[in-house]
Structure 1
Amino acid sequence: MIESHPLKGIKVIELANVLAGPAVGMFLAELGAEVIKIENRLNGGDMTRSWKLSTEKKDVPISAYFSSINFGKDYLDKDLNNALDHKEVLDLISEADVLINNMKGSSSRKFGLDKDSLRKINERLIHAELTGFAGENSKVGFDIVLQAETGYLSMTGTDKEAAKLPVALIDVLAAHQMKEGILLALFLRERDGRGSHISCSLEEASLSSLSNQATNFLMQGFVAGRMGTLHPNIAPYGEVVRTKDLKEFVLAIGTQGHFERFCEFLGLGQLLKDERYADNQNRVVNRIGLHKLLQSKVSLLDSEEFEKACDSLKIPVGRIKNLDEVLTSAVAEGMILEEKIENIPTKRLKTVAFHMHR
């Protein structure tokens, strides 16, 4: 919980659509900023207005997808090819603190929204520019394209089929990078009064998040493949086990202590003396056989008994829950934000997940 709105008085212009840019705008709005979202009148506004589930009403001007990353904003329809609209947008930017822009570079230059042009009309402006790919690469950068181009789809799913990440994670990662950049730029502006130009591509945000998978290759030449839920460095980690009442749990046995306690709990203490399973590296090599042994014991236990015992022994396991169960939990319900957009009731989860008290 934020005790107050720390960005109250900050004015943000959002010239962005789809997910990454609007997610940044929503984050700033949650923190108290005034956010004005400018949409392209010629093509019906943000394209996600039309990204509807088959069950959504066709005659409603927004979608659940659009609502997920638009909250606390004012909305304006403008045509930048129209001289009056163009001037109004530039006037808004001249008085703004932050501009979020994910237009193509050529379009930004055409409309005087490039960094050099904007610096002339507002030296204090923090100009946050999102692109799909780094540098001058003009390839269209939708999230799943980046999942493919930066290796994620080569590591998700199974050997039979790739699996798309169930949320637009690359957009989310790029949004986090841009949020950090904007907050840093606001901090620096307090020191010297100068604005900043921040650029971030989905490609670089995605690459920076490859984390241990990237380092496995850079240090050991190991190329990660499709392993489902499994972890290339740890076992049993990512293995899914099923209890007697057919509830599924994922294992996250990250230390030798976890493994020892887990084996003792399941009555498999003999595995600790078996060379195939005695240490983590051998368990990674022999994980298929290990999984079968663990499953044979877990299948004798009810889910409540299994989960309670693991929790008491500090053995990390997670019950695989459906979204309806997740979103009716007390924590999730406490994160729901509601408002009307164009007189239509909407709901989404807040993007500010940290708590700050002073």
Structure 2
Amino acid sequence: MLPLEGFTVVALEQAVAAPLATRHLADLGARVIKVERVEGGDFARGYDHVVAGTGAHFVWLNRGKESLAVDLKSPEGVEVVRRLVARADVFVQNLAPGAAARLGLDAARLRADHPGLVVVGLSGYGSGGPMAQRKAYDMLIQAEAGLISITGTPDEPAKTGIPTADIAAGMYAAQSVLAALLRRTRTGDGATVEISMLDATIEWMGHALYTQLHTGRQPPRMGVGHTSIAPYDSYPTRDGRMLIGVQNDRGWRDLVTKVLGAPELADDERFATNVQRVRHRAECDAEVARRTREWTTAELDARLAEAGVPAAQLKDLSDVVGHPQLRSRERWRSVGTEFARIDALLPPPIFEEFEARMGDVPALGQHTRALLLEAGLTEEEADRALSRGVAAQHDASAPDSPSN
């Protein structure tokens, strides 16, 4: 039995942060009812169509959910959502600030009617404060949180290549739901949870933030290097580059004696401790780079692995897709989408007792009619809602064969 079997989540969600949170809950067995717009659905459906006609973001974030397409500008559409929430354990939303309240789906109203409900609201900047009403997207939050200021090279800042702020908020939201449901088993009480993308991302700033706080100095942008550790960077080989990360003084000794053939560097006073190596970073990196050029990337990788020195080859995503570690550990599964079956990764947590449920990615409104009936509409009322455009029903047509 999956840990969240029997729990129902209603999610008024779009884009990344909230869908990521509820996908984690679906993987753990929760029933997730995704409420979407009649026209177009979740914005992420239209970001691109690169996964067999479906958006890559949407495929990543929405497997295992039921899609209900209703017009929330109509009283009938809102009433359907209210009825489903009345039967649910969790309600999650990441609408624009104030939008949930205008629909009568704010936490105060829902908790008054359903004290055991867990209500989670995700926003860019949180309630209150001068920025509460501002629109928030991942790149903007990365900028406000200082993440862009420490990411990139010394010459050019950059945002991260993945939606870090969205992912941070989604992870904290999922974690909060689990904590709230556990608490409810003990007290019977629901919970009201607020997650801000800004709060989540600033929390992830970690050591950089505390460095600024306690020294008054902005940590510099280091590319793939590290502000507090050396050697920790990308180094040249005969045919490419190798990433080497020495975390302690013993690791330095192993690197120079067992790999680079330069035992004289082990006790060089400039490099004997990490503090000294950071202080003499340019010299340290130059000594390492002068020697790593002697081998090909594959040769150096083998030497580093044998010596137990932390290192990695710089892989493109084409290498990651076929990564032998993923294949040997059987981390790929097949899931259905609207037009095809595709490969998808198992979620990271590995339980000995069960495997995460990886359901299909729904077509827009694929489950609408059934959910209208579940909400208490008669068959005639459901058909009338569909014919009037208050709700929409679409069917998936995925073939049975995997994508590759």
Q: Same fold (TM over 0.5)?
A: yes
Could you say if the C-alpha distance between residues 220 and 143 of structure 1 is closer, same or farther in structure 2, counting changes exceeding 3 Å? Answer: same
Report the AA paired with residue 291 of structure 1. D
- Alpha-carbon distance, 1:340 to partner: 2.5
Could you say what secondary structure the match of 1:48 adopts?
helix
Question: Map of 1:2-151 to 2, 5 A cutoff?
Answer: 4-42=1-39, 44-52=40-48, 60=53, 62-136=54-128, 137-151=132-146
Q: Is 1:355 matched up with 2:350?
A: yes
Give yes or no for contact 1:178–1:200 (8 Å, CA) kept in 2. Answer: yes
Could you say what secondary structure the match of 2:243 adopts?
strand
Q: Is 1:249 matched up with 2:242?
A: yes
Q: Is 1:345 matched up with 2:358?
A: no
Give yes or no for contact 2:37–2:70 (8 Å, CA) kept in 1. Answer: yes
Aligned-partner Cα distance in 2 for 1:337–1:173: 25
Could you say what secondary structure the match of 1:105 adopts?
coil
Aligned-partner Cα distance in 1 for 2:348–2:284: 37
- Alpha-carbon distance, 1:346 to partner: 4.0
In the TM superposition, what whole-angstrom CA distance separates every residue of 1:285-334 from its partner, at most 9, and x where no partner exists?
22122212211111111333322221222111111111111121244353
Give yes or no for contact 1:68–1:349 (8 Å, CA) kept in 2. Answer: no
- Alpha-carbon distance, 1:210 to partner: 1.0
- Alpha-carbon distance, 1:215 to partner: 1.5
Q: How many residues align?
A: 347
In structure 1, the residue matched to 2:398 is: none
Give yes or no for contact 1:157–1:163 (8 Å, CA) kept in 2. Answer: yes
Higher RCO, 1 or 2 (CA under 8 Å, sep at least 6)?
2
Could you say what secondary structure the match of 2:98 adopts?
helix
Aligned-partner Cα distance in 2 for 1:316–1:272: 17
Report the AA paired with residue 281 of structure 2. R
The one of 181, 194, 198 equivalent to 1:186 is 181
Report the AA paired with residue 257 of structure 1. R
Aligned-partner Cα distance in 1 for 2:342–2:55: 9
Report the AA paired with residue 313 of structure 1. A
In the TM superposition, what whole-angstrom CA distance separates every residue of 1:210-258 from its partner, at most 9, and x where no partner exists?
1111111222223112111111111111x111222x2321111010000
- Alpha-carbon distance, 1:130 to partner: 0.4
Moved more, 262-271 or 83-92: 262-271
Report the AA paired with residue 223 of structure 2. G
Report the AA paired with residue 140 of structure 2. V
The one of 198, 201, 212 equivalent to 2:196 is 201
Aligned-partner Cα distance in 2 for 1:132–1:83: 27
Give yes or no for contact 1:95–1:122 (8 Å, CA) kept in 2. Answer: no
Give yes or no for contact 2:126–2:194 (8 Å, CA) kept in 1. Answer: no
- Alpha-carbon distance, 1:97 to partner: 0.7
Give yes or no for contact 1:67–1:347 (8 Å, CA) kept in 2. Answer: no
Give yes or no for contact 1:146–1:203 (8 Å, CA) kept in 2. Answer: yes
Give yes or no for contact 2:11–2:22 (8 Å, CA) kept in 1. Answer: yes
Identity of aligned residues (%): 27
Q: Could you say what the CA RMSD is over the residues aligned between the two structures, in angstroms?
A: 1.8
Q: Is 1:327 matched up with 2:324?
A: no
In structure 2, the residue matched to 1:263 is: 256
Aligned-partner Cα distance in 2 for 1:322–1:342: 28
Give yes or no for contact 1:247–1:319 (8 Å, CA) kept in 2. Answer: no
In the TM superposition, what whole-angstrom CA distance separates every residue of 1:88-141 from its partner, at most 9, and x where no partner exists?
110000100111100123211111111111013322111111010123311111
- Alpha-carbon distance, 1:347 to partner: 4.0
Report the AA paired with residue 13 of structure 2. A
Aligned-partner Cα distance in 1 for 2:305–2:324: 20
Aligned-partner Cα distance in 2 for 1:180–1:326: 27
Give yes or no for contact 1:67–1:346 (8 Å, CA) kept in 2. Answer: no
Report the AA paired with residue 35 of structure 1. V
In the TM superposition, what whole-angstrom CA distance separates every residue of 1:137-172 from its partner, at most 9, and x where no partner exists?
111111111111111111111122212211101111
Could you say what secondary structure the match of 2:266 adopts?
helix
In structure 1, the residue matched to 2:284 is: 290
Could you say what secondary structure the match of 1:41 adopts?
coil
TM-score (norm. length: structure 1): 0.92
Aligned-partner Cα distance in 1 for 2:36–2:325: 33
Moved more, 182-191 or 279-288: 279-288
In the TM superposition, what whole-angstrom CA distance separates every residue of 1:71-101 from its partner, at most 9, and x where no partner exists?
0111111111112111111000010011110
Give yes or no for contact 1:156–1:226 (8 Å, CA) kept in 2. Answer: yes
Structure 2, gaps ≥5 residues long: 354-404
- Alpha-carbon distance, 1:56 to partner: 7.0
Report the AA paired with residue 43 of structure 2. M
Aligned-partner Cα distance in 2 for 1:169–1:337: 25
- Alpha-carbon distance, 1:173 to partner: 1.1
Moved more, 88-97 or 304-313: 304-313
